[in-house]
Structure 1
Amino acid sequence: MELERAPNDPSRKELSPLLKLALELGPLGVFFLFNSRGEQIAESFPVLKAVGEPIFLATAAFMVAITISLVASLYLTKRLPIMPLVSGVVVIVFGALTLWLHDELFIKLKPTIVNSLFGAILLGGLFFGKALLGYVFDSAFKLTDEGWRKLTFRWGVFFFVLAAINEIVWRSFSTDFWVSFKVFGVMPITLIFTLTQLPLIQKHAIVEDEEEA
């Protein structure tokens, strides 16, 4: 059975790497800024004091920032990749619960739920003979069926590892530490893991002929 490959529509609009990175990491930066400087920001804008402690102010800012990011991505590319869209929806839903119930538990659970969801989708897809990684990451490169299987399995497991790490951190450390780790810990861990997958990608990459290239 042939496995699903990533979509490769030549007509789709692509963002520059720096702009794409800014749209993906910008909301996290906003979340960290408002959590670490929430009191000072609230002093400058007294109306924000009604939101509550910095973590709640940061959650509200995170929701606004990720909504802007999704709208900008849709406007620039005429589409919404699956992973940012799902992550954004969960942020908005759990952020709203955090603010409504005034309980930071919900925003702390967001990474656990999102990572577990993607891990289950990837590993579940493999169970049914479908390598869905290319669709989850909106990837444009091509791999052999074996390459997609191996890479999908590794990322599926990695997502569950990230979910477990999030549970350990938020349950064992302060809210400020959790926010800092979310921004400055998870990103480097993900980058290192991604770099370790490059040999697999190179080994199983499908080289297009010169005319197609």
Structure 2
Amino acid sequence: MLQETTEDLGFDEIKDHILVRAWLNQEVGKEEPDHCLSQVDPLEVERATSELVKEGLVQQKNGCLKLATKGENQARSLIRRNRLAERLFAVVFNLSEEAVRAQACRLEHEKVLTPEAVEGICSFLGHPPSCPHGRPIPPGDCCRLFVNEVRPLVTPLSLEEVGENYRIIFIAPKYHSLLERLSGLGVIPGATLHLLQKRPSYVLKIEETEIALDKEIAEGIYVVRHTNGHGI
């Protein structure tokens, strides 16, 4: 997830990496390697870790790091900012995966996005549940309160209107195994669909094929209105 070169890492960035690594370890349930930290002077990593312990952000037992409540909140903010930025650069600017990672990391560590800006991006993107790599985006207040003061650029198909054309931007199904099934039906990012009905089931048309889907699946298909043959 983090792609800076070793020379780019200041002391605060090293601390960020340690917090993020601790978050990822808890998220996946195993030790996650960090390419950048592996190239940093071990003494600097140890010094940064000691400072995080003193600040009450992490706890260290038997060589393992665990996030304290305060550290978990800070790590969540870093992860949320990074994964939302990845989704933004992938969806809106259609950047390559390498460019997406690099730009998202800059925004994560430079902290140029205010909390209000992060919430605005999340609402603009339709409160995406995951980043382009399938990892969950920690929800913010805007997600829990369903704030939609800004018309989302990308929205779940379940919230759209019958009779309109849409372009699929990304798919984030509740169960990852559904991706292969949907792909086999032609329900893939970039495809254009026409929404025929929403009840009793969702029926959409892609090219000449009509496809029936449950509401739960439609909620994981994120689209943008397709106007005059052009989406975003």
TM-score, normalized by the shorter chain, greater than 0.5: no
Which protein is richer in helix relative to its size? 1
Structure richer in strand, relative to its length: 2
- TM-score after normalising by structure 1: 0.26
Question: Rg: which structure is higher?
Answer: 2
Of structures 1 and 2, the one scoring higher in RCO (CA 8 A, sep 6+) is: 1
